[in-house]
Structures are given as structure tokens and as C-alpha cells.
Structure 1
Amino acid sequence: METLAEHTAWLVDRFGDEDEYAGLNSFAHLQRVLDEQCYRIPDLEDDDDNQDSADQGHPGDESPGWQPLQTYTSSSDSTETAEDEPDSESLERDAEDRHDHIGLEESDEIDSSSLQNPHDDEATYRSKDAEDYFGYKSNIAETCDGENPFRLITAVRVDTNNTDDGDLLAEDARNLAEETGLRDLLVDGGYTHKEVEKCCRDQEITQHFTGITGQRPAAEKMSLAAPEWDGTRMVACPAGHEPFEQNHYETGRISGKMDKKFCDGCQHQENCFVEEQQEHYSYGFRERRVEVAQRRRRLDDPAEQEFLNLRAGVESLMNEMYHKDGEKTKFTGKIKVKNASIAKAMGRNLKRASRFLESEAKQEKSTG
């Protein structure tokens, strides 16, 4: 690997300014490997102040300081005999000297977007549940209302597999609301995303999460979902009292002050989120914490759990769409993988509609 890295650097330096080579896709791949997975060792690169005259560039060598891969001499100038030919040990020493110019990045320092395979230079790397994945990821939305005679796939989004799930959903949330009248969106905890949440609020869509990322607060601490909220305004604390002063800042922080006559001796005082000040009690936290607390409370509701069971169907859909093929696509390049996924989704929709129509026809025939 070190030898390959050294040769890669020499080729990039030697031909980087020549359009005949630098314009090639294969040369771009070579440059990416060098930039993404290797690094130069600065103190061993060319430095006119630290080089002896014997170390200066040779005629025809456009990368001064690098050892040539091969040296050719004319027969008249050559005095080398068979006994003078370099042995394997000297060649290895020369190679080791060249290795010192280029270092290999540690695996955990290489970005997930680095080149995985020149055959598909858009594919990326991802590690999930101690498994390694290379390529792309697909997000799919489908209808799941219990009154629907059959489900329809309504959105397919494909991107590199190191793309955040929330980023993918953000592109579809608004379209789904406009095109399908979406009002309830069932997702797992990985789809937590500020842009999606803002879009859902604007479109009056309620998000239902099958799980919440992050650590659950201690049981003895009062949940921030315990008060009655109207957006970022606290309508009433758990004891039924409204703060006499409240503030909501652009940073997303909310704060308020409670009258001492309400908080002193309150049954919730020991585990409440307010803190005693000289003339009042106060609280302050980011509105995000309130939103997460409210989600946790909904998640603990048995009715919500039953509603979330509707999402189970999407897991079988993913198996139907991809896992039957061993999770491997027949295509390379994001646009081709995306188009193949859309074509599969169209096929699934047509099959579902066809099965429904056949079932309806059989019932009509039976009734007739």
C-alpha cells in the first residue's frame, strides 16, 4: 500500500498539469485516492534550503526530490556490469526511502465519502450496528391508513448511504402534504430533523416516532411535558399556575418566572424544573427539550403504541423492494440506482392495484 501511494503521488505530480492525462476520469480517481486516503510528510518534501546539490532534480524529472521509477542510460555511457546490478535488498531500501514521502491515513480518519471503488465513484461507506455497508440508501413512504383498501408507495428518495435520514425526509415532507393530504407521519427515531419538524408544523402534520434518540431523563425528575404548553408559552405549570413573566428567544431558548406564593410549599417543588431565586422561582431551557419530552409522553401512551404498529408494514416493503435481491443493486451511479428504485416502486403499486381490482371483480362475480 505504501508503494502504491508513493507511485500515485509521483503520477499526480508528474502529469497533473498535462491536459491529456489530467482530464481523464481515471486520473481524477487517482487524485481522489491521494487526497482522501493519503497525506504528504511536509518535512521530507522538496525544500531548497535543506537539499544538497546531489539531491536536486534530474533532467526530465518534473517532480524534484522524488526518486525516478526507472532510469535509462545510453549504451555508450553505461559502465554497469552484471555484478553492478542492484540486488533485491538495495531495491527494497530504495522503496522504503520513497515510502517516507507519503503516509497512509488511519482507517478511522478516512471520510465516509471517500472513493470506495472506481467502478462507482459516487458510492459511499457507512457502518451501522457493527456492519459495513457500501453504496446507497433508499427512503420510501407509503400510505398506511387502516381504511385504505391497499397501500400505495408515495415517495422514493435515494442518496449516498452516509446521508442523514432526516435530510432525505426533508425533501419529501412538503410534497407529501400537498399531494396526499398527509396529516400523520409515522417514522423511527432516526428521522429527527429540525427542517422536517418546521415543515410539519407549517403543514399541520403530526410526527409520530417509534423511538426517541438520546437518554431518558431520570424518573425522579419532572418531565417538561408535565405543564400545559401552547407552543413555547407555558399556559399552566403542573400545579395549575401560569408564570408572571415568559420569554422566547431567537436562539430557541425559553425562560420564565413563577411567583413564590405558588412555588413555596408546592407538592412538586422537590423534583420541579424551577430554581429558587431571591424574589421568585425561574426556569430556562431550550424549546427542543420540551418537544422531545412531549414525544416521550406520547410514546408511553398505549393508544399511540397501537397507532405506531401501522408502520410495521414498511419494514416488509423494504424487504420486498431490496432484500430479496441480497441488498445489491444491478446498477452503479446514484441516478441509475434511484431510477431503478422508482421503477420498482411503480411496479409494486401496479401489482397492488391489480390484486385489488381482481379481488373486487371476483366479489362482484360471486355476488352476481
Structure 2
Amino acid sequence: MFRKNNSNLQERLFDDFQHLHPSQQKRLMASWAPIFYEHVFSQIDEAPFAPLYSADNGRPNFPINILLSLEFYKHWQDLTDEQLLEQASFNYQVMYAIGLRNLGEEYVAPRTLYDFRSRVHRHMLDNPESGDLIFGQFNNLTTHFIEETGAKTDEQRTDSSFVTANIQRMYRVGLIFDVLFHAIESCPETFLTDELKEVLKPTFKTNVLYRTRPSTAQERIESLLNLGQQLLDIKKANQEIADCKTFDLLERLLKEQGIWNEEQQKWDAKLSKNISPDSLQSAHDPDATYRHKGNRDSVGYVANITETCSKENQAQFVTDYTIEPNTTTDVDMLNDRLPDIKKRTGVEKMYTDGGYYSETVDQTAKQTEVEMLYSSLTGKEPNPDRIPYTAFEIEDRQIIKACLEQHKAQRATFNEKDKTLSAHFDLETCRNCPHLEQCPVKLQKKDAVVRVSQKTILADETRQKLANGGQQENTSRRTAIEGTNSALKRSQGLGKLAVRGKHKVSAVVGLKIIGHNFQQFITYLARKTKETIKQVATSFPTTPPQGVSLSF
């Protein structure tokens, strides 16, 4: 049964804090603990978690604000569960931060943590339309931090980074064996053929994984695929085992790794180069994908984060994050998230690199009234001797009105289907133009014509902005977010997580980013304290009066 936890608001006649030495009380109150209690624990909204529990039956739930606070603390400090539970039991500083004032006041059992995580995960799977519970807490706390610090959100920057789930990188033979093994293992033994039972024996695994030569790998793969088909045939003939999820994974694997040979009624193995990056990468994580970027291979996910970047802010906060399979492009992620970021934060300028540049992002930015500012552009550099399309007079990126020499177009059209502009000019005028060699115009029998896509016009406009001094400023504003990604990986273990599956990965990333924002908030308060001390110190020409402390 769901019940809100308000016990921290009740006055206590006696508590362990009173038994501390005054100097210890002073040190505790100057630490992070009361800041966490006031600005994190006390800001948690427990109501969205009510659907995880029965409304009117069973024993009351363990306090949600304590469980969430422990999760925030764990990922802020990058602790294991064992370390977290030890801190929650014996570290009074941690207990104070989560609203407890007496040792042993609440016992947090390992199963309590695991059950809570399981409930949150199931809710996310079963109710995708109701929103991400962890993202909701992230948004509430970030809004609070921004309000408390007065940080401006009109200027923001965004960047992506690979995230590896808790899976082992496997080659084809190992992957296929893994999926097949788990599918066979989940099938009642009475349905299995002798050939399928052999797969469960340790010697079979040894022969497959460690005694397969490169020259026989293709043959071994086809053998495993056809064993998988045997199992699927058994499933079709026996409806009582048809609902097993491991069979669905096996069926997916066969389609991705093989080609069905109708004539011989068997699976032929695909060539490695013909396997999609979206194909299954692990028997334990069906959402993970493969991506090669630069000189690096990655299996897992990609995280896209957005943070404030106003020069007036004394602390910058992450305002948005999203997790997708790592085959998802930067363009798709930003295009999907930009309207929500605008709605929640009121962003007006977004700084990013050339990987986010596209016509679709530009259209979304226009619709949401966000100015996109790029540090560079990807793709082939244009010929510097060619006249850019920005030199033409173009109305709404649809109608070419005139050329560089202000010669009016005789006829101009816009193809809505392929987003292409066309303009026809007088043939003799173009032939005698001093810019003919550099102009993109093409001479025809009756006239001269210019054809260009909206995408090219947008690229030329963006390059012109960068050439006019915007590149250095845009790069300067954007670069610091790479430091944020680095800090999340170094300090909070964002690079490789201890969970699998998109929903779990997304939840853990959200918890780590909440921890990061809390660290930024602490840094802000420390700076403000130092500034206050400095102002007090400078207000006295000599030694400050008795009773004024200048220590931090």
C-alpha cells in the first residue's frame, strides 16, 4: 500500500544529533549532508510512484524519498550496492542527508532496494505513455537547482557520448551459441531431440567457442542456425511452450544472421558485411546495437545530454538527457528532444557540432524558435572559387528572385516534393556576366538555369555565419560539454554501466546526471560562500571584529 513519508517533518524530542560534540555538529552542518537534505531529499515528489503499489491493500511501502535519495547518492559517489548499504547503516552524515536522525531508525535491506528498482522497471515497460519516473525526478530537481542559483537557460549546448551496457562483446559464433543455449535451456527436456540436448553439455560449448578455426567458422555458424530452426519447429508443434521469450530472440537471430534457403530448406549464414548494425549484439540485451565511429567500435547505447552554457551562470546544469541504441544519429536525437527542451527550459540558442546539422533539425529549430549555432559542418568543403548560393536573392528558401548582379529571374519555381529550387535567367545576360566562370548557373539552348536543393542553401547559410566570426564563439561555447561527458564517465562511471536493456540504462544515466547536477549545485554554493567571505573581509580595513569568522 502506498503511503507518503512525512516522518522527517516531525519534531523529535531526542535524537543522535544532540549527542554529538558541538564541533562535530558544526562540521556536519557545514558539509554536503544538510544541503542534500534541503535541496534533494525534501524536494522529491513521491506521488508519481504511487501506481507502483496497491492503493488500499498490504503493508505500507518503504519510504520512496529515502530509496530515491539512496539511489541519487549511490550514483553521485559511484558506489556499489554493498558500499551504499554500509553507508546507509553506519554513516550518520548519509543518514542525516536522507532525513534520518537516529542510528538504526530505518533498516534498508538489499531486497528492499532490488524490489524498488524492479517495480520502477516494470512500470516503465508496462506504461510507456505515463512517462519516465526517473526523468520526472531529474526534471523537478534540475528546475529547483536552476531556480535556487538563478541560472539562465536561454543558451544551451548539446553533445552525445557512447554508453556501454553490462554485456560482453561477442563474435558471431559466441553470440549465436549464447542465444541458442538459453532458448534450449528454457525448453522442457521432454521436447528436445538428442541433437539439441548435446548443446547443453559443457563439451559442446568448448568445441564451439574454443576449437572453431577461422576456416570452419561459416560452417559452424550454419550448423548452429539450423539447430535453432529445429527448436523453432518444436515450438510451432507444441503451443504450451510457444510463449517463451527466448524463442522470440532466437527467431530474430536467425533472420538477422542467416538467409533461408527454400530449395534445401535450411539456413545459410550471411556474410559478416551484410549483417545490420541494428542486429542482436547480446543474448542478455536485445536493445543494444553496434556502431563504428572514427577509429572506435562500440556496442551498446548513445547518450545525448544538453546543458546550460550562459556566461553569466556560476554553475551549469544538465537540462535534458536521452538514451537510444548507438546506431541512432545525433540528428534524430536532437530533432526528437528539441521541442521538449524548449517547452521545459525556454532555450533560445543551441550550440553544437556539425554532427547535428541537417535540414530536419533546422526546420524543427525554426518551429520551436531556437537558433542553431554550429562549431563546424561535416561533409565535403565547397569549392572556395564558386559563388555560394547565399549570394543569390532567395525568398523563404523557396524562390530565387535575383542573382549576384541583381539580374531578375525570368521564371522561378519550387518543387515541394524534393525541396528543389529552380530559376531561369536570360541566356545572353549570363553569357556576358563577369562572374560566369564562378557562378553555379548552367547555360542551355534557350536560357540559363540554376537548380539547388534547400539543404545546400541551408549549408551555405551556415558556412557563411561561421566564416563571419561565429565559428570561434560557437566552438568556445560548445567545447565545455565534452568536459561534462568526461566527468560523468570518470567520476560517476557513465562509460560502462552495471545494467542491461534500454530502460534500465536510461534510469541509471538519469540517476548519475542527478548526482552530477547536485555536485554542480554544491560547487555553486561553495563559490557563493567564498564570495561572501571575501566581501566581509574587504569591508574591514584591518582585523575583523570579534565574532566574525572568515574560515570556510
Secondary structure of the corresponding residue to residue 119 of structure 1: coil
2:506 to 338, 353, 357: 338
Counterpart-to-counterpart distance in 2, 1:179 and 1:262: 53
Code of the residue aligned with 2:411 in structure 1: it is: E
Counterpart-to-counterpart distance in 2, 1:283 and 1:212: 24
Secondary structure of the corresponding residue to residue 269 of structure 1: coil
Counterpart-to-counterpart distance in 1, 2:341 and 2:394: 28
Quick check: 2:374–2:474 contact (8 Å CA) kept in 1? no
Quick check: 2:236–2:242 contact (8 Å CA) kept in 1? yes
Code of the residue aligned with 1:163 in structure 2: it is: T
Counterpart-to-counterpart distance in 2, 1:244 and 1:125: 52
- Name the structure 2 match of 1:44: 264
Question: After superposition, what is the alpha-carbon deviation per residue over 1:12-68, rounded to whole angstroms, capped at 9, x for unaligned?
Answer: 1122342332211222222222221122322212xxxxxxxxxxxxxxxxxxxxxxx
Counterpart-to-counterpart distance in 1, 2:435 and 2:513: 53
Code of the residue aligned with 1:356 in structure 2: it is: Y
Secondary structure of the corresponding residue to residue 271 of structure 1: coil
Report the alpha carbon displacement of residue 326 of structure 1 after superposing the two structures with TM: 7.3
1:8 equivalent in alignment to 2:228: yes
Residues 5, 279 of structure 1: alpha-carbon distance in 2 compared, 3 angstrom cutoff: closer
1:27 to 237, 247, 251: 247
Residues 305, 231 of structure 1: alpha-carbon distance in 2 compared, 3 angstrom cutoff: farther
Secondary structure of the corresponding residue to residue 277 of structure 2: coil
Code of the residue aligned with 2:286 in structure 1: it is: D
- Name the structure 2 match of 1:240: 406
Flag the structure with larger Rg: 1
- Name the structure 2 match of 1:317: 484
- Name the structure 1 match of 2:325: 160
Give unpaired runs (5+ residues) of structure 1. Answer: 46-100
1:198 to 349, 363, 378: 363
Code of the residue aligned with 1:8 in structure 2: it is: G
Report the alpha carbon displacement of residue 178 of structure 1 after superposing the two structures with TM: 2.5
Residues 257, 135 of structure 1: alpha-carbon distance in 2 compared, 3 angstrom cutoff: same
Question: After superposition, what is the alpha-carbon deviation per residue over 1:272-314, rounded to whole angstroms, capped at 9, x for unaligned?
Answer: 1223345543212212111111122222333432232210011
Code of the residue aligned with 2:251 in structure 1: it is: Q
Quick check: 1:21–1:27 contact (8 Å CA) kept in 2? no
- Name the structure 2 match of 1:218: 383
1:250 to 409, 413, 416: 416
1:350 equivalent in alignment to 2:521: no
120-129 or 12-21, larger mean C-alpha shift: 12-21
1:184 equivalent in alignment to 2:352: no
Counterpart-to-counterpart distance in 1, 2:446 and 2:497: 66
TM-score of the aligned structures, taking structure 1 as reference length: 0.78
- Name the structure 2 match of 1:51: none
Quick check: 2:400–2:421 contact (8 Å CA) kept in 1? no
Give unpaired runs (5+ residues) of structure 2. Answer: 1-219, 537-552
Counterpart-to-counterpart distance in 2, 1:32 and 1:228: 53
Counterpart-to-counterpart distance in 1, 2:468 and 2:390: 13
Quick check: 1:139–1:158 contact (8 Å CA) kept in 2? yes
Query: Paired residues, what number?
Result: 313
1:302 equivalent in alignment to 2:522: no
Question: After superposition, what is the alpha-carbon deviation per residue over 1:201-220, rounded to whole angstroms, capped at 9, x for unaligned?
Answer: 12232212223232222233
Q: How does 1:133-152 map to 2 (within 5 A)?
A: 133-152=298-317
Task: Give runs of ≥4 in structure 1 deviating > 6 Å.
Answer: none
Quick check: 2:387–2:440 contact (8 Å CA) kept in 1? yes
Residues 244, 183 of structure 1: alpha-carbon distance in 2 compared, 3 angstrom cutoff: farther
Counterpart-to-counterpart distance in 2, 1:279 and 1:222: 23
Counterpart-to-counterpart distance in 1, 2:444 and 2:520: 63
Counterpart-to-counterpart distance in 2, 1:179 and 1:23: 42
Please, what is the CA RMSD of the aligned residues?
2.1
Quick check: 1:22–1:28 contact (8 Å CA) kept in 2? no
308-317 or 295-304, larger mean C-alpha shift: 295-304
Code of the residue aligned with 1:243 in structure 2: it is: A
Report the alpha carbon displacement of residue 156 of structure 1 after superposing the two structures with TM: 0.1
Higher RCO (Cα < 8 Å, 6 or more apart): 2
Secondary structure of the corresponding residue to residue 43 of structure 1: coil
- Name the structure 2 match of 1:113: 278
Counterpart-to-counterpart distance in 2, 1:264 and 1:153: 56
- Name the structure 2 match of 1:64: none
